[in-house]
Amino acid sequence: MTKMAATRDGYGEALLELASNPKVVVLEADLGKSTKSLHFRKAHPERTVSCGIGEQNMLLVGAGLAASGYIPFASTFAIFTERAFEQMRNGVARPNLAVHVCGSHGGTHTGTDGSSAQSIEDLAIYRTLPNVIVMHPSDVVSTKVLTMQLAATVSPSYTRTARNKTPVLYEGRENEIEIGKGIVLKEGSDVAIIACGVMVSQSLEAAEALTAEGINATVVDMHTLKPLDGELVDRLVSSCGAIVTAEDHSVIGGLGGAVAEHLTSNTFAPLERVGVQDRFGESGQADEMLEVMKISAPYIAEAAKRAIARKA
């Protein structure tokens, strides 16, 4: 049996370990039980700031703390970070203050809460902000490692985590994980599937199905969308000649957008983007939502074949 865990738990574990640094402070907006900052709050109430249900206030309190030498980690649902987008833009990103925002329950995978809770645009909007690191890790281990690395960065960041459990991929492989460096999980020369978050394990499944059909796919976990690992994308273009991106996010502006932007300015290769097709979600179980949105493993495999067919 594959071991399963939710990436949001990796965030919670990282905060607890980071607590040994007295400069680390945690900000909450009445969702600590959900984003998993509650463990830090229990252990270090004096360094946890409850902002009530007030996301806009929370982000700028974070900015004030960062400007005073603290390392603030602020979390709420991915969707509700968006309410404070302009605060993030003008009060955090513009002065380049290292506030680390974690948006949990990202994507349609979050399930039956429905469309109001399913952020499908967070990665896109934060990617437009100068200075901001944007990440969407795929498993609990990498979420923990990447969150811990954030404490040493001098840039603000946005990290999306997921509500529901996904396969654990990196146990014992912690030292392969680094902000800004995509991870090749499987090598193949016919097509490269670049994925993030919950779609990484779907992509591995797709690659397995493709192998049975004689197609060898590379699978990359692009946990950092910004800065994008362009060198790796260039290598994939020359080794595979066809690319698929896979994300539980709009096909506009997220991972697919980032890779498309890179390809148009560098070596070109056919690209198929698997993601949410410019629509809102609805209530459904996590696995049902991947089907409704047509982003589960079989759809990735189909996209791979389309990309291969488009090779010159």
Partner 1 sequence: MTSTDELRELARKCRVHIVNMVHRAQAGHPGGSLSEIDLLAALYKTTLRVRPDDPDWDDRDRFILSKGHASPGMYAILAEMGFISVDDLASYRVLGGICQGHVDMKWCPGVDFSAGSLGMGLSFGMGSAIAGRLEGSERQVYVMLGDGEIQEGSVWEAAMAATHHELGNLNVILDRNRIQNDDFCEAQMRMFDIPAKWKAFGWNVKEIDGHNMEEIVDGLNFLQNSNDGPSILIAHTVKGHGVSFMADNPAFHGAAPNDEQYAQAMAELGEVVA
Ligand X SMILES: Cc1ncc(C[n+]2csc(CCOP(=O)(O)OP(=O)(O)O)c2C)c(N)n1
The contact set with ligand X (CB under 6 A) reads 30-31, 53, 80, 83
Q: Is 219 exposed, middle or buried (0-12, 13-18, 19+ CB in 10 A)?
A: buried
Q: Compare residues 121 and 302 and give the one whose CB is closer to ligand X.
A: 121
What is the rounded CA–CA span in Å between residue 151 and residue 71? 7
Are β-strands 166-167 and 4-5 bridged in parallel, bridged antiparallel, or unpaired? antiparallel
Query: Angle formed by the axes of helices 7-18 and 140-150, to 10°?
Result: 40
Q: Beta partners for 185?
A: none
What is the rounded CA–CA span in Å between residue 182 and residue 191? 16
Q: Compare residues 22 and 52 and give the one whose CB is closer to partner 1.
A: 52
What is the rounded CA–CA span in Å between residue 143 and residue 140? 5
State the DSSP H helix or E strand holding residue 264, giving kind and residue range, or none if neither: helix 255-265
Q: Active site includes 121?
A: no
| Minimum gap (Å) between residue 126 Cβ and ligand X | 17
Q: Which of 28, 55, 247, 272 is catalytic?
A: 55
Site for partner 1 in 287-306 (CB under 8 A): 288, 292
| Minimum gap (Å) between residue 23 Cβ and partner 1 | 25
- DSSP secondary structure letter of residue 305: H
Residue that the structure tokens 């692009």 belong to = 222
Taking CB under 8 A as the criterion, the residue among 54, 180, 230, 298 binding partner 1 is: 54
What radius of gyration, in Å, describes the C-alpha atoms of the chain? 19
Q: Is 216 in the site for partner 1 (CB under 8 A)?
A: no
Taking CB under 8 A as the criterion, the residue among 10, 12, 32, 107 binding partner 1 is: 32
| Minimum gap (Å) between residue 286 Cβ and ligand X | 19
Q: Compare residues 80 and 299 and give the one whose CB is closer to ligand X.
A: 80
| Minimum gap (Å) between residue 100 Cβ and ligand X | 19
Taking CB under 8 A as the criterion, the residue among 3, 4, 21, 33 binding partner 1 is: 33
Give the residues lining the site for partner 1 (CB under 8 A). Answer: 28, 30-34, 38, 50-54, 56-57, 79-80, 83, 112-117, 282-285, 288, 292
Catalytic amino acids?
55
